[in-house]
Amino acid sequence: MKKLFLLCAAALASWSAAADEGMWMLPYLQKMNIKTMKSLGCKLSAEDIYSVNNSSLKDAVVIFGGGCTGEIVSPEGLLFTNHHCGFGSIQALSSVEHDYLKNGFWAMSNAEELPAPGLQVRFIRKIADVTPDVVGNVPSTASQQEYETISNENIKALTARLEEENPGMEVIVKPFFGGNQFFAFVMEVYTDVRLVGAPPQSVGKFGGNTDNWMWPRHTCDFSIFRVYAGPDNRPADYSPENRPYKAEKYLKVSLDGYDEGDFAMIMGFPGSTQRYMTSYEIDDMLRVSNPNRIFIRGERQDILWKDMMASDRVRIQYASKYAQSSNYWKNSIGMSRGIEKLGVKARKEAQEADFRAWAAEKTLPEEGYADALTAIEESMKALSPLDHDRQWLSEAFLRAVEIIRPATGVLKGSEVKAEIDAAKLETAYRDFYKDFNVETDRKVAKRMLQIARERMKEQPSFYAEVVDKQFGGDTDAYVDHIYDNSAFASQEKALALLADYSAEKVAADPVMTLARSVIEQYYALSGARRPHAAKFAEGHRKYIAGLMLRNPKKAWASDANFTIRLTYGRVLPYDPADGIRYNYYTTLKGVIEKEDPKNPAEFTVPAKLKELYAARDFGRYANARGELPTCFLADCDITGGNSGSPVMNARGELIGLAFDGNWEAMSGDVAFEPELQRTIAVDVRYVLFIVDKFAGAGWLLKELQID
């Protein structure tokens, strides 16, 4: 293992970075990236971007919630992120009487800012390469089980030590390059976060699912929050006495815009890429996982959408759930399309053939490189059928049939708990039932149980034991029995069950048979896949190490894993097909042109926005041509998790917020496409125009440092 560590260290020292591809680690910018960045026009030093001892741009970029990025834009803790990142909090604060999704929300003073329950913001305070601490004592001949046992024990001890050295901080240790390298991140977690402003959904989600992942785009995808702190400026639970977080570092805002070819960089928390995915995994993605996800989610989404369009109450309840589901649903459609159209599998096969030939000729058998791809191939053959059914259990039952969720709260494994924390469960249940519509969920359950029976290889036991024996195979009748008789079908009955808790009574509830059957099978499949997953992990780790050893001067970047990264490139158009060129920016004119009365849920333009456009009342937010820019493109390398990330110019000033990728390069998480792949960002001038001219919340702009 020491050999692999030295390989990583040597490679990092010698790499010369490519301009476009790469989600780069901040501690290595000086060695790896800054020279190329300067050649593209960057005016900053590596120390300006990331400093160990001084404040830097890194300190203004945060993890927002559980899966997005945000940036601090004022000394008073004001935070920008995407509308779709704040969507869950906006939805949670909405009601039929206060419909902030439909109408937007704007605080006109600090006193009007709304606490967002459960929302957290994380600042990265320290980053350290801890590879020697984690795998330095792992023998080079260790099996995968030995490797995992030793490294996990080391991570546990290291985490405990870092937590002791950094009291009050959160510590995570993450693997990179398939487990060949490790970094520790020390984070400060702020839990008092308040909603400051959000445009109406017709602006912040303009284009809806139709425009999602598409260019040209005209969505003003932003929302504004504020981080609050205790009297010592440290994290504190919500209190009216808390004060806005005093930010030592925040981003300046530029109204200068950009021209084609200008330098652009993005800092954020990309969630997950699979750039080292093999052809065997691509086969599984195209044949199993993506088709399953596309079909199951599509069926559920059709039901949700119809109910949402028929009722404001249901629309608010399911808005965030629908958005989260449909985003990855469409991503999966685009991913499969891109991989097939762009010949990604053939490129992977060519790389694998080269690797096999090199490993056979240049490496020793005991090093494991020659067997790495065979291990991946064999493990994928074993995992694929197991994961097919496991995915169905997850997608069609545990995610889709919501009545199962409160039932799992009283389970330990697949057994009903003898004792519960009733107060904790009561809080969780009240949150759950606020956004639960029993008749919508009944419709979903009927469809899910029907299609799962048709398509699963090994079905959960409740089908044979209950549906067939008691209901003659009629899944609809079984579902009606559950929803008509289960205490978990309503908040009132579920809370009453907690108040007079009895394990025997809970076990007899009709939903418990369904829940326990699904969970039992899920656990059984998880256990069956464990040895094959270990074999895959070892092959994956050694394959990546071998690739790096095979080409030590190549600019290898680790896959995204929701840790802070920097990517950079240029503002550029692209050619999606022969004879077609897409401009690198859009304007408010396109918003007006896209209005579609036949599709009001996605393409409504508010009257106030039309008035401002007609009057050409763009103020200082217009570009040199007198247009109001809305969105723009850059060839930066991002993925999910980067949503809300700041797009910065050569001076590190905010020019936009990243919110999407483009349809033609949806395979980019597996293989970067430099000619096609683009980040789609909302122009900060459009954001400020909406805040100032449209919403009349110009008081917020006084906090910003605008150049």
- pLDDT tens-digit series, residues 608-619: 999 999 999 999
Query: Binning pLDDT at 50, 70 and 90, where does residue 13 land?
Result: very low
Q: How far apart are CA 631 and CA 585, in angstroms?
A: 6
Q: How far apart are CA 200 and CA 202, in angstroms?
A: 5
Q: How far apart are CA 9 and CA 656, in angstroms?
A: 35
- End-to-end C-alpha distance for the chain, whole angstroms: 51
pLDDT recorded at residue 21: 86
**Of 80, 38, 5, which Cα lies nearest the Cα of 684?**
80
Q: How far apart are CA 144 and CA 539, in angstroms?
A: 9
At the topology level, CATH places domain 1-120+191-274+557-707 in Thrombin, subunit H (2.40.10)
Contact between residue 112 and residue 175 where contact means Cβ atoms under 8 Å apart: no
Contact between residue 165 and residue 121 where contact means Cβ atoms under 8 Å apart: no
Amino acid at 39: S
Query: Binning pLDDT at 50, 70 and 90, where does residue 20 land?
Result: low
**Of 28, 86, 26, which Cα lies nearest the Cα of 61?**
26
**Of 249, 212, 253, 269, which Cα lies nearest the Cα of 70?**
269
Q: Determine whether 484 is an active site residue.
A: no
Containing H/E element for 448? helix 438-455
Q: How far apart are CA 316 and CA 410, in angstroms?
A: 28
Contact between residue 96 and residue 195 where contact means Cβ atoms under 8 Å apart: no
Strand partners, 629: 587
Catalytic residue among 74, 83, 84, 558: 84
Give the pLDDT confidence of 457-507 residue by residue, as tens digits. 999 999 999 999 999 999 999 999 999 999 999 999 999 999 999 999 999
Average pLDDT for the chain = 96
Q: How far apart are CA 96 and CA 346, in angstroms?
A: 52
Q: Determine whether 16 is an active site residue.
A: no
pLDDT recorded at residue 19: 41
Q: List the Cα angle 234/239/244 in 5-degree steps.
A: 50
CA dist 636 to 287, 332, 692, Å?
30, 21, 29
Greater confidence (4 vs 21) lies with 21
Contact between residue 570 and residue 33 where contact means Cβ atoms under 8 Å apart: no
Q: How far apart are CA 640 and CA 23, in angstroms?
A: 12
What percent of the chain has pLDDT above 90? Answer: 95
For 231, the 3-state DSSP assignment is coil
Give the pLDDT confidence of 280-313 residue by residue, as tens digits. 999 999 999 999 999 999 999 999 999 999 999 9
Q: How far apart are CA 528 and CA 525, in angstroms?
A: 5
Q: Determine whether 461 is an active site residue.
A: no
Catalytic residue among 254, 320, 486, 643: 643
Q: How far is CA 465 from the centre of its chain?
A: 39
Contact between residue 657 and residue 221 where contact means Cβ atoms under 8 Å apart: yes
Q: How far apart are CA 646 and CA 334, in angstroms?
A: 25
Every domain of the chain and the residues it spans: 1-120+191-274+557-707, 279-538
Q: How far apart are CA 498 and CA 403, in angstroms?
A: 16
- Strands 121-129 and 170-176, by their bridges, are unpaired
Half-sphere exposure of 476 (CA within 13 A, CB side): 2
For 501, the 3-state DSSP assignment is coil
Alpha-carbon Rg for the chain, nearest whole angstrom, is 26
Contact between residue 321 and residue 435 where contact means Cβ atoms under 8 Å apart: yes
Query: Binning pLDDT at 50, 70 and 90, where does residue 553 land?
Result: confident
Catalytic residue among 221, 307, 441, 669: 221
pLDDT recorded at residue 1: 52
State yes or no: pLDDT of 9 exceeds 80: no
Beta strands in 490-545 (DSSP E): none
State yes or no: pLDDT of 10 exceeds 70: no
Half-sphere exposure of 4 (CA within 13 A, CB side): 30
For 422, the 3-state DSSP assignment is helix
pLDDT recorded at residue 3: 52
Q: Cβ neighbours of residue 100 under 8 Å, at least 6 residues apart?
A: 90, 93, 94, 195, 198
Give the pLDDT confidence of 401-422 residue by residue, as tens digits. 999 999 999 999 989 999 999 9
Q: What is the mean pLDDT of residues 387-391?
A: 98
3-state SS record for 640-698: CCCCCCEEECCCCCEEEEEEEECHHHHHHHCCCCCCCCCEEEEEHHHHHHHHHHHCCCH
Q: What is the mean pLDDT of residues 543-557?
A: 93
State yes or no: pLDDT of 706 exceeds 70: yes
Q: How far apart are CA 248 and CA 55, in angstroms?
A: 7
Instruction: Give the global pTM.
Output: 0.95
**Of 569, 559, 561, 555, which Cα lies nearest the Cα of 637?**
569
- Tell the burial category of 643 from Cβ atoms under 10 Å away from its Cβ (0-12, 13-18, 19+): buried
**Of 308, 345, 312, 313, which Cα lies nearest the Cα of 326?**
308
Only one residue has tokens 């959000």, namely: 198
What percent of the chain has pLDDT above 70? Answer: 97
Q: What is the mean pLDDT of residues 198-212?
A: 97
pLDDT recorded at residue 141: 84
Q: What is the mean pLDDT of residues 184-204?
A: 98
Q: What is the mean pLDDT of residues 60-87?
A: 98
State yes or no: pLDDT of 648 exceeds 80: yes
